[in-house]
Structures are given as structure tokens and as C-alpha cells.
Amino acid sequence: MSQPPEPEQPPSPYEPPPGGQQPSPYEPPPYGDPYGPSSYGQPPGEQPPQHGQPAYGQPSYEHPGQPPHGQQWGQQPPYAPQVPYGQYGPPSPPGGGGGGGTNVLAILSLVFAFVFAPAGIALGHLARRQLRTSGEEGAQLATWGLILSYIFTGLYLVFCCGWLALVIWAGSDGSNT
């Protein structure tokens, strides 16, 4: 395929100027570099690549329908930056891949185990039922919420029964009638 004719360009600094005068090798050519300092290393007569355009033979990483890379000011890069070895990366977005975050009922089960244990038991069982189907995390939280809720409920019942027995024993005057 033929290329369109190139516009008239100044002579190359590598060719001797017309008229037989030889310029000093220590002075820049009198007409200057037509492409500025970015054209060094380019063959004579070839234009350097413009900003945002790949050089000849280099792949373009642009997607159709999107502006060129040079026009994406203020946009976040499409990938997460790499973190040093041994550190955790950025958290995954909620709802994306792997079933999401921790089950809220599992967290509440563990909290209510210390606040009001019977509610912790109910929330723990509801959380376990949801975890079987949703794929969320939090199975250990729900299990520990159930265990602690049952322990605290048992201790509460023992305390209440002991206190009631103490009140009945203290209320009796010691006489059998």
C-alpha cells in the first residue's frame, strides 16, 4: 500500500548543506532540529510518535469507544496496586466474588451473647441457617455466639434458681406447720 506524500521537510543535519560550506562539528545546525529534543534517535525524515500514540510496531492498549490514554485525567487505574510481600492487599469489593462479607446475624449473635444471651441463641441459629445458603463468612462467629450464649444463659438460670432457693429458705421461719 502506498503512503501519502510527506510534506516538504528541511534537509537532514547529517547531509552537508548546499553550497559546499562545511559546518563546524561543534555547532548545532543553523536551522535547528525540526522536531525538538524528542526526535533524537529517530531516523532522518521520520516523525517521532506523538503523546498518547504508540510508536510504529508498538501495540495500542486502547479499547474501542474509550478516549485515548492521554485523555483519561482523574480516573482511577483499572487494577489494584501491588503491595509488598507479606502484607494484605486492598479489600475485595462487597458482593464481588466469593460470597461477600461477614454475616451480620453472626456478629450480632456474638455481641448479644454478652448483652442478652437468649437473644444471642436465637440470632446464632438464624445466622447458621443463613450461612448454609448464602456463602457468606462468619460461621465461626455464629458458633462462638451460640456457645457463649448457651453458657451465659445456663449460668443465668443457675444464678436465678439459686437466688430463688435462697429467698425461699430465708423466708421460712424454721417452724414446720
Per-residue pLDDT tens over the stretch 127-177: 999 999 988 999 999 999 999 999 999 999 999 999 999 999 998 876 665
Per-residue pLDDT tens over the stretch 76-131: 666 766 767 776 766 665 555 455 789 999 999 999 999 999 999 999 999 999 99
Q: What is the pLDDT of residue 45?
A: 58
Q: What is the pLDDT of residue 173?
A: 73
- List C-alpha distances in Å: 48 to 36, 53, 139: 10, 10, 61
- pTM attached to this predicted model: 0.43
Instruction: Report which of residues 139 and 16 the model is more confident about.
Output: 139
Q: What is the pLDDT of residue 13?
A: 65
Q: What is the pLDDT of residue 72?
A: 54
Average pLDDT over every residue of 59-76 = 58
Q: What is the pLDDT of residue 135?
A: 85
Q: Indicate the pLDDT class of residue 18, thresholds 50, 70 and 90.
A: low
Average pLDDT over every residue of 41-63 = 57
Break the chain into its structural domains and give their ranges.
Answer: 104-171
Question: Residue 20 region, left (φ>0) first, then alpha (ψ -120 to 50), else beta?
Answer: left
Average pLDDT over every residue of 34-55 = 55
E strand or H helix at 123: helix 117-134
CA dihedral over 15, 17, 20, 21, signed as positive or negative: negative
Q: What is the pLDDT of residue 153?
A: 97
Angle between helices 139-171 and 117-134 (to 10 degrees): 160
